[in-house]
Structure 1
Amino acid sequence: MGDLTITNKVLERYINFLLRFDKSSKKKMITKLTNSLEKKEEKSFTIKSIFGAWQDDRSADDIIDDIRESRMEPKDIDL
């Protein structure tokens, strides 16, 4: 999920709302926000990561047979 940027006006609304919390709740909120600032390991995705040879122990004929067997017949539709 990407980062969300908010305006000062929206931030002030959040702060005014959060100021009503008790001390314990505020501390929990601070802890969670602080933890969220720690850099998380980003999953790298490149288009190259989806390229490559098909890896399977089955023969081409077995794969084709499996594909054909998994097909579903269309339902009869009256128009």
Structure 2
Amino acid sequence: MQIPAGNNLVESYFRFMKNWDNETKKRLIIKLTQSIDSEDNSQYDFSSCFGAWEDERTADEIIEELKSDRKNNPEIEDF
């Protein structure tokens, strides 16, 4: 009998949480249920994290700004 990978994850979490007090377990159940029953079922589009940088400045202007914001501190702090 083969167990799907998702079940292994659930079993790992269960082993971690099985010794929690009942009140904490109930709060977790409520939070998980709310996350399933929420009205917002829109899917997060991970690809929206990628793309070209949009800016009115030229590449040279951005580079110059980055360089001008650098702060060098020659003093070495003791630990």
TM normalised by structure 2 equals 0.45
TM normalised by structure 1 equals 0.45
